């Protein structure tokens, strides 16, 4: 993790940005833990951020935390969520992302105000993100997301799709007919193949 020192954000800055993880800053929770919104000051610039705070009781842990950091510090694409940094102080495992103004796609699927053109653009953006992971990250490997669902597609201020939540991802070779066998099911019930 020494090579990633420039991604470390002090816990005090995160607490300041989220008003000490206040209820007012709380915007959701998932398998990783609670998510908060805040404004973080980095290099004298204010950035609107989403802060994911690990809570092991929700099922994920250190492996997912490290996979998220590894994936988002190595791979950048306009249709992947951007990692601002992370914090691993005082027993906390926190991930800090650029905030996606409109949240996750699942909140809009039943909304009749979301036009078919918008839906198509969102779908194409998500597909471009997954295509990048599967086929364009490098000639010798690929990233398999393993938790594809509408809740993991975020929407920025331009309704541009951003693939998120890489904790369950696997990185494998791309030059083999069969990359590896996964014998343990993972993902979200209702989205994974029975």
Residues known to be catalytic: 147
CB atoms within 10 A of CB 148: 16
DSSP tag of 124:
H
DSSP state of 152: G
33 by DSSP, 3-state: which? strand
* Residues pairing with 87 in the sheet: 94
Cα separation of 194 and 178, whole Å?
Answer: 21
The Cα-based distances of 28 to 43, 83, 103, 110 in angstroms read 28, 18, 10, 19
């Amino acid at each position: 993790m020494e090579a990633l020192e420039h991604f470390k954000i002090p816990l005090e800055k995160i607490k300041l940005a989220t008003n000490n993880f206040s209820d007012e800053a709380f915007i959701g929770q998932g398998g990783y833990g609670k998510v908060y919104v805040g404004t973080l000051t980095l290099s004298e610039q204010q950035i609107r951020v989403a802060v994911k705070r690990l809570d092991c009781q929700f099922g994920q842990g250190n492996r997912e935390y490290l996979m998220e950091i590894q994936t988002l510090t190595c791979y950048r694409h306009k249709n992947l969520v951007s990692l601002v940094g992370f914090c691993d102080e005082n027993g906390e495992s926190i991930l800090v992302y650029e905030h996606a103004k409109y949240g996750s796609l699942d909140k809009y699927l039943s909304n009749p105000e979301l036009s078919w053109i918008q839906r198509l653009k969102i779908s194409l953006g998500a597909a471009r993100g997954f295509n990048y992971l599967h086929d364009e990250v490098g000639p010798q490997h690929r990233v398999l997301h393993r938790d594809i669902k509408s809740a993991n597609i975020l929407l920025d201020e331009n309704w541009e799709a951003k693939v998120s939540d890489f904790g369950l991802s696997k990185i494998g070779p791309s030059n083999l007919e069969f990359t590896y066998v996964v014998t343990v099911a993972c993902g979200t019930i209702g989205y994974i193949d029975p």
